[in-house]
Amino acid sequence: MMERLISVCLWLTLVLYLILRVACNAEGDVLNALKTNMADPNNVLQSWDPTLVNPCTWYHVTCNDRNSVTRVDLQNANLSGQLVPQLGQLPNLQYLELYGNNISGIIPEELGNLTNLLSLDLYLNNLTGGIPTTLGKLTKLQFLYEQFKIFMWLTCLVSLCFCFLVMFVLMYLEGFYALTLLAGLDRRLNNNSLTGTIPLSLTTVMTLQVLDLSNNQLVGDIPVNGSFTLFHSISFSNNKLNNPPPASPTSS
């Protein structure tokens, strides 16, 4: 009986090992797909060797204790190219930091599959197109920094703790604009050209605490109900909107 129990335990251990090995290979394939789609003049992705079983040994990649990718840090890396839809296949990814590069093209809708994502930093790139509605599935998302040029309609985002959609935030700093958020956290959210109307669906996102749509090309009316009663006029300034924005946020 004991021998049989030991055999079963060994068999289960082997199966678990093979599952984890396959998972690591799959996540390595995802990151390698991103690498092959990027021009990397500074060789920051040099350690991303697809022949290695575990991508957790690669620079700029962080994993959990199960060797599953939780963080990708490639900010200010002088990368150019396009994002790949395979990025949506990193089930435990919490931080995707790609700001300050020359990434172009659209945001893949598959990023909406990253249900454990806490932070999505895409600002200071050359991304175009609309904001995928699938990002509304990211119910754990706390920081959404999408500094890119948008030339399509602004689409809805649902269940976000913090949503930042701006071209320039009105604080001058040597030609750039900066936004200071929460305990001195500083984020530059410049260089957007959002068009279209402000979706009414955003007014129902009662967890929305920070919204800045200033210095864009938005048209139509400014919603005055729901979560939008919290926002100051600076959130809507320098657009092509019809009605004047609220003079000040509603006090609690």
Confidence class of residue 126 from pLDDT cuts 50, 70 and 90?
confident
Least confident of 13-22, 140-149, 151-160, 209-218: 151-160
Q: Is residue 214 part of a domain?
A: yes
Which range of 87-91, 225-229, 235-239 scores highest in mean pLDDT? It is 87-91
What's the average model confidence in pLDDT over 91-113?
90
Question: Which residues does residue 197 pair with via DSSP β-bridges, in sequence order?
Answer: 219
How many domains is the chain built from? 1
8 Å CB contact between 120 and 111: yes
Q: Is residue 123 part of a domain?
A: yes
Q: What pLDDT does 128 receive?
A: 77
Q: What pLDDT does 106 receive?
A: 83
The bridge status of strand 38-39 relative to strand 80-82 is: antiparallel
Return the CATH number at 130: 3.80.10.10
Q: Is residue 204 part of a domain?
A: yes
What's the average model confidence in pLDDT over 192-217?
64
Q: Is residue 151 part of a domain?
A: no
Boundaries of domain holding 118:
21-146+182-241
pLDDT higher at 181 or 94: 94
pTM beyond 0.85: no
Q: Is residue 12 part of a domain?
A: no
What's the average model confidence in pLDDT over 189-212?
59
Neighbouring C-beta atoms of residue 203, cutoff 10 Å: 16
Which range of 26-40, 155-169, 221-235 scores highest in mean pLDDT? It is 26-40
The yes-or-no verdict on residue 120 having pLDDT over 90 is no
The yes-or-no verdict on residue 163 having pLDDT over 50 is no
Q: What pLDDT does 121 receive?
A: 80
What's the average model confidence in pLDDT over 29-56?
93
Q: Among 65, 66, 53, 64, which Cα is nearest to 25's?
A: 53
Q: Is residue 114 part of a domain?
A: yes
Q: Is residue 49 part of a domain?
A: yes
Q: Is residue 208 part of a domain?
A: yes
Q: Among 174, 203, 202, which Cα is nearest to 190's?
A: 174
